[in-house]
Every structure is written in structure tokens, then in C-alpha cells.
């Protein structure tokens, strides 16, 4: 019986040493984990504008019915009914959904379309373009880079220096004049 107990004790000691060895093995794992970290960094750097993500309920609480219809449901205000159509003050036009500055007053021009029009955005990274084949037309939709809100469309019949016309729904813009 004593021999059997001794064998059991020796066996337990081996198991114990086995556990401590496996403990040493886990200490070698962290360096392997750190090598995978740099892989995630370039993806974050590719997106210069941090995304603002909200639930549909939160957007409905924040925005007016008209703003929600345009920004979140890709709606269009009736021509001539939106804000800032004949607005000529110096300043910046921001997205009403997330406050990202989108257009400068310097780039605003009278297009005669019934919607505020600009020949360029403040920064190409702030206004993203998406191909839009809805309503039987081939157009280029423009969206806010931060909140993905629908702004309007961009056409290639604008004035110089770009020849582009950013046709924007005035009701989703918020003007902030120069202090």
C-alpha cells in the first residue's frame, strides 16, 4: 500500500511540474500577440475622418423630420424651399447631423437650380462620393464622411476652377459665420 501511495505522490509531483511548464509556455505567447497588433494600425490611418455611428432612434431624436428624411433616408427638399439658397455671408457650412465642416462660403455660387450649390468641398476627405443609379438616372451621390448622412449630388456642369457642382440640400446644412 505504501508503494502505491508513493507512486501516486510521485505522479502528482510530475503533474505539478507539468503545470508549471505549461505556465512557462504561456509566457512566450504575448510576444506573438504583439506582432499581430501593427496589422490593425494601417486600417485606422486609412480613414482620416472618425465615423460617428448612432442608432436610428437616436437620429430621430436629434434631427427634425425634414433633416431625418434627407440625411438618413436620402430624401430631397423641394427646389427653392431649403435654407441658405440666397445666403451670402462669409463662413462655413457644417453638416447638421455631426457638425463636420463641409463647404466654404467662398465656393458657393448661384446655380439657378433651387438648391445651394458649391464648386468644391472644404476637404475631399469630408464629402464622399457614391455611384447612384436610382430614379432611372446615373448620378453621383455625396455623403458626409463622418455620419454617412446624405447631402445631395455632384454634377460636372459647375463653374471653374473645378467645373463641378455640389448640389446640396440646404436644410441639412448649418451655417457658422466668421467670428
Respond yes or no: is residue 6 known to be catalytic: no
* Residue 141 to residues 74, 88, 179, Cα–Cα distance (Å): 9, 25, 32
104: which 3 cell numbers? 466654404
Residue 151 as a binder of Zn ion (CB under 5 A): the answer is no
Burial class (CB within 10 angstroms; exposed 0-12, middle 13-18, buried 19+) of 63: buried
Which of 121, 149, 152, 158 is close enough to bind Zn ion by CB under 5 A? 149
As measured in angstroms, the least distance from the Cβ of 106 to Zn ion is: 21
Residue 142 as a binder of Zn ion (CB under 5 A): the answer is no
Q: What are phi and psi of 105, to 5 degrees?
A: -60, -30
C-beta separation of 67 from 97 below 8 A: yes
User: How many C-alpha atoms does 170 have within 13 Å on its Cβ side?
Assistant: 16
Residue 98 as a binder of Zn ion (CB under 5 A): the answer is yes
Cα 154 from chain centroid (whole Å) = 19
Residue 152 as a binder of Zn ion (CB under 5 A): the answer is no
**In terms of CB distance, is 33 or 57 closer to Zn ion?**
57
Q: Where are the alpha helices (DSSP H) in the chain?
A: 2-27, 29-36, 41-46, 56-62, 65-73
Q: How many residues does the chain have?
A: 179
Binding range to Zn ion, per CB under 5 A, among 9-17, 20-28, 75-83, 95-103: 95-103
**In terms of CB distance, is 100 or 122 closer to Zn ion?**
100
Residue 147 as a binder of Zn ion (CB under 5 A): the answer is yes
As measured in angstroms, the least distance from the Cβ of 74 to Zn ion is: 14
Which of 107, 144, 151, 168 is close enough to bind Zn ion by CB under 5 A? 144
The residue ranges that bind Zn ion (CB under 5 A) are 95, 97-98, 100, 144, 146-147, 149
Which residue numbers are catalytic?
Answer: 167
Amino acid at each position: 500500500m505504501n508503494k502505491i501511495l508513493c507512486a501516486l505522490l510521485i505522479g502528482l509531483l510530475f503533474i505539478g511540474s507539468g503545470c508549471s511548464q505549461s505556465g512557462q509556455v504561456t509566457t512566450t505567447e504575448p510576444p506573438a500577440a504583439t506582432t499581430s497588433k501593427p496589422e490593425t494600425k494601417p486600417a485606422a490611418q486609412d480613414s482620416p475622418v472618425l465615423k460617428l455611428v448612432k442608432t436610428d432612434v437616436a437620429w430621430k431624436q436629434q434631427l427634425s423630420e425634414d433633416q431625418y428624411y434627407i440625411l438618413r433616408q436620402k430624401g430631397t427638399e423641394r427646389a427653392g424651399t431649403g435654407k441658405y439658397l440666397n445666403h451670402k455671408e462669409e463662413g462655413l457650412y457644417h453638416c447638421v447631423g455631426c457638425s463636420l465642416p463641409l463647404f466654404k462660403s467662398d465656393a458657393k455660387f448661384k446655380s439657378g437650380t433651387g438648391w445651394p450649390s458649391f464648386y468644391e468641398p472644404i476637404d475631399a476627405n469630408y464629402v464622399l462620393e457614391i455611384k447612384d443609379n436610382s430614379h432611372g438616372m446615373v448620378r453621383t451621390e455625396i455623403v458626409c464622411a463622418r455620419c454617412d448622412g446624405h447631402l445631395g449630388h455632384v454634377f460636372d456642369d459647375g463653374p471653374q476652377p473645378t467645373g463641378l457642382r455640389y448640389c446640396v440640400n440646404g436644410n441639412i446644412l448649418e451655417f457658422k459665420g466668421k467670428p
